[in-house]
Structure 1
Amino acid sequence: MEQIKNMDAKSWYKNKFAEFEKSLNGEAKSLSHLSKKESINKLDEISFPDLKDEDWKYTNVSAVIKENFLPAQLCKPSVSLEIEKYLFDFTDSSLLVFENGIFNEKLSKIHRQKNVFIGSLKSFSLIDETNFQKNVKFRKTTAFDFLNESFGADGFALIIGDKTTLEKPVQVLFINGNADEKVLSSPRIFITVGKFSEADVILNFVGDNDNYYLTNINTAVQLDENSNLNLFKIQNESKKSFHFDNINISQSANSTLNHFNISFGGKLSRNGLSSNLIGEGAECNFNGLYIANENQHVDNHTFVNHAVANCNSNETYKGILDDLSRGVFNGKILVAKDAQKTNAYQSNKTILLSDKSRIDTKPQLEIFADDVKCSHGATVGRLDEQALFYIISRGIPSDLAKSMLIRAFANDVIEKVNLSELKEQLNHMIFENLHRTEI
Structure 2
Amino acid sequence: MSTLIKQNLFEGFLESSFVGFEKSREEGKASFLSQGLPTLKSEEYKFTAITKKLEQSLSNLNAAKPFDLSEEEVREVIPQGFEGAVLVFSNGHLLKNRCLDINNLDFSSLSEKPETPIGSIAKVEKDAFAALNQASFDGGVFISIPKKEVVEKPILLLSFNKANEGEIISPRIWIEAGDFAEVTFISHSINKSDKPYFVNLVSEVKGGLNSQIRYYRVQNEGENAFEVSNIETNLLQDSRFTSVTLSLSGEMVRNNLSLNLLGSNSEGNMYGIYLLNGKTHVDNHTNVDHTIPHAESNELYKGILADQSRGVFNGKIFVRQDAQKTNAFQQNNNILLSNDATVNTKPQLEIWADDVKCSHGCTTGQLDEEALFYLQARGIDKIQAKGLLLFAFAGEVLEHIENESFREYCINLVQERLGSKF
TM superposition shift of 1:91: 4.9
Please report how far the alpha carbon of residue 43 of structure 1 lies from its aligned counterpart in structure 2 after TM superposition. 3.1
Task: Say if 2:96 is the partner of 1:105.
Answer: yes
Deviations 1:366-414 (A, max 9, x none): 1111111110000001111111111111111211111101110011100
**How far did residue 78 of structure 1 move?**
7.4
In 2: Cα distance, 1:239 partner to 1:135 partner: 31
Query: Does 2:300 align with 1:316?
Result: yes
2:222 and 2:6 map into 1 onto residues whose CA distance is 25
Task: Report the CA distance shift for 1:246/1:406 in structure 2 as closer, same or farther (over 3 A).
Answer: same
Report the equivalent of 1:290. Answer: 274
Q: Is 1:43 aligned to residue 28 of structure 2?
A: no
Match of 1:259, SS state, is strand
1:426 Cα shift?
0.7
Q: Secondary structure at the match of 1:132?
A: coil
- Report Cα offsets for 1:291-320 as digits up to 9, x if no partner: 111001100000111100000111010011
Which whole-Å deviations, capped at 9, do the CAs of 1:201-233 have from their partners, x for residues lacking one? Answer: 101122136131000001111111111011112
Query: Aligned-residue CA RMSD in angstroms?
Result: 2.2
Cα distance, 1:83 vs structure 2: 3.0
1:164 equivalent in structure 2: 149
Correspondences of 1:18-417 after superposition (within 5 Å): 19-20=15-16, 27=19, 31-33=20-22, 35-61=24-50, 62-66=52-56, 67-72=58-63, 75=65, 77=67, 82-113=73-104, 117-123=106-112, 125=113, 129=114, 131-133=115-117, 138-140=122-124, 141-178=126-163, 180-181=164-165, 183-208=167-192, 210-417=194-401
Q: Which runs of 5+ in 2 are unaligned?
A: none
**1:424 alignment partner, SS class:** helix
TM-score using structure 2 length: 0.93
The one-letter amino acid of 2:12's match is K
Check whether the contact 2:220–2:247 (CA below 8 A) recurs between aligned residues: yes
Counterpart in 1 of 2:6?
10
Question: What percent identity do the matched residue pairs reach?
Answer: 36
Give ranges in structure 1 of 5+ residues lacking alignment.
none
TM-score (ref. length: structure 1): 0.89
Whole-angstrom CA distance in 1 between matches of 2:284 and 2:270: 11
- Structure 1's consecutive aligned runs of 4 or more residues displaced over 6 angstroms after TM superposition are 78-81
Shift of 1:181: 4.8
The answer (yes or no) to whether the contact 1:403–1:437 under 8 Å persists in 2 is no
Q: Which sits farther off after the overlay, 200-209 or 404-413?
A: 200-209
Question: What do the CA deviations read for 1:165-210 (whole angstroms, capped 9, x no partner)?
Answer: 01311001111113x4552110011111111110011011221361
| Number of residue pairs matched by the alignment | 418
2:135 counterpart letter in structure 1: S
Q: Secondary structure at the match of 2:314?
A: strand
CA–CA distance in structure 2, aligned partners of residues 343 and 34 of structure 1: 39
Moved more, 352-361 or 202-211: 202-211
Q: 1:319 to 1:336 in 2, by over 3 A?
A: same
What is the identity, as a one-letter code, of the residue corresponding to 2:144?
I
1:49-91 deviation line (CA, Å, top 9, x unaligned): 1111111111112111453444336x37378982334322345
Please report how far the alpha carbon of residue 156 of structure 1 lies from its aligned counterpart in structure 2 after TM superposition: 2.9
